[in-house]
A = this chain, B = another copy of it.
Amino acid sequence: MTDAPKQFEELLRRLGEISDLEKATGLLAWDEETKMPPLGAGPRAEQRATLAGLAHELETAPALGELLEELRGFEAEHEPDSFEASIVRVARRDYEKAVRIPSSLRAEMTRNGSRGYRAWLEARREKNFAILLPYLERGLELTRQYVDCYAPEGDPYDVLLDEYEPGMRTAEVEAVFDRLKAELIPMIASVSEPVDDSCLHGRFPAEAQRAFALAVLERWGMDEESWRLDDTIHPFAQSIAPVDIRLTTNFHEDSLHGILSCMHEFGHGLYERQVDPAYSRTPLARGVSSGFHEAQSRMWENHVARLRHFYPQLRAALPSQFSDVPLDTFHRALNRVAPTMRRVDSDEVTYCLHIILRFELERDMLAGAVELTDLPEAFEAKMGEYLGLQPADVVEGVLQDVHWSDPSFGYFPTYALGNVISVQLWERAIADLGDLDEQFERGEFAPLREWLGEHVHRWGRALEPQELLERVTGSRLDPEPYLAYLRDKLGQSYAGARG
């Protein structure tokens, strides 16, 4: 970079400032959910709004647009996947998107979103969808205005999807989801009697869970030099810097979900941790899409954690619960398939149906094909049709997730894309690395971790999601490996019960 033009240095300086503001905002958010005393909430909202506003000013500065124009020649002189060309290309994409949205619209969306969040909490307390309704109506209106800013020629939902899954088209998602639905609904119906998972119910002291989870994560590659684990209400992972990764979880003493959520969040954290260090303080220094991010967390939660290798340690950590439980019983329980009312509690097979019904309803809302007043019934109808379940009330139904309080349409589908991508990546990893289960039994996690770093993580946002997937697996988004994996898993898991 010694012969880089002055403009490129200036671009990096500006991008560094934007990144620093985003990371500082990230710390405000992390702290709010993990450490902040409750009364801090009011001032914190002001602090976050101020930093977001300043970041938006920097992101849309005309001088930034001019720099990016001046650097077109410089970009063309470099290989498309080089640091230099990728920075300019991705920064331009971000800039061109950011300038389309007036500050006033963005501020109004933020304001309505934070009011909507409070309304959602109250609507849940009162079990009354009508409390959320006006904010959802206004949110939908603002979402349509947002879409109009891009004047899309194709499906308006494409605009929303692009925010989370750059370059992905609604039609592609729909095709994948239709294929999943066609297979998953009968697959679930075939599970007449779920396996016994009573061994997963009991009293699990939070401190024992934490110690066990940390021991597992350390074996996987977490270290105290650049990671932390803290308590929160709704688990998440946050990168304050590629060398400062914060995982959060919530240990409930009546279940092991907190441990599984640590493993899930580890996948997110590892992605951010293994981005090429040269990308630090640039827009390349994060995961390429929500779907790819979720693929990482799903891989560690489902493919790595649901194997058998850690059971001896778990048994040692919680002897009174597990000393009499054979490995096979535990393993079958951990991989149990049974429709659940809550998306976040659901197993690998039913999970995608929770997502598909939300995706379909988002598209209907955007198209005006469903009246918002009818949304609770529409939600319940699909729960019945896809999962055979009847929500007891709106809290189990349409108010289940926080997402529509905002309403961040376009996000939900990426959860299912993550599942699909995770199996595509997993199969390639096995093809390259051999029997991972055996390696894990020996405590060897570095091969998988390094494989992910080399093939996926280091790229950050330098490649587009589908381009990255194709480079790694030779294929674009493809639901077949995921379906084959589920069929196989369902067969294995139920072999004992059936036999």
Contact = CB atoms under 8 A, between A and B. Distances in A.
Nearest to A243: B39
B17 A244 contact: no
Interface string A25-38: 10110010001111
A47 B24 contact: yes
Contact of A43 (B23, B31, B51, B225): B23
Interface residues on A, range: 35 or more
A211 interface: no
Interface string A266-281: 0000000000000011
B17 A54 contact: yes
Most B CB contacts (10 A, CB to CB) among A226, A241, A244 go to: A244
B225 A37 contact: yes
A50 B243 contact: no
A393 interface: no
Say how many copies of this protein the assembly contains.
2
B37 A244 contact: yes
A205 to B, nearest CB: 17
A51 B20 contact: yes
Nearest to A18: B50
Contacts of A46: 16, 20, 281
A142 to B, nearest CB: 20
Contacts of A28: 24, 27
Interface string A235-271: 0000011111100000000000000000000000000
A8 B50 CA distance: 19
A323 to B, nearest CB: 30
A78 interface: no
A42 B227 CA distance: 15
A21 interface: yes
Nearest to A281: B46
A224 interface: yes
A203 interface: no
A44 interface: yes
A228 interface: yes
B240 A50 contact: no
Nearest to A46: B20
Contact of A38 (B27, B36, B54, B225): B225
- A contact patch SS: helix
Contacts of A36: 240, 244
Contacts of A243: 37, 39-40, 42-43
A24 to B, nearest CB: 5
Nearest to A228: B37
Contact of A40 (B20, B31, B43, B226): B226
A224 B281 CA distance: 36
Nearest to A20: B50
Nearest to A23: B47
Contacts of A50: 16-17, 20-21, 24
B37 A227 contact: yes
A237 B31 CA distance: 17
A242 B37 CA distance: 11
A151 to B, nearest CB: 30
A198 B374 CA distance: 72
Interface in A196-239: 224-228
Interface string A187-200: 00000000000000
Contacts of A280: 43
Nearest to A36: B244
A244 B20 contact: no
8 contacts: A20-B51, A24-B25, A27-B27, A27-B31, A37-B243, A38-B226, A40-B243, A43-B244
Given A24-B47, A37-B224, 17 more contacts: A17-B54, A20-B46, A23-B43, A24-B28, A35-B35, A37-B225, A37-B228, A37-B243, A39-B226, A39-B243, A39-B244, A43-B242, A43-B244, A43-B280, A43-B281, A44-B241, A44-B244
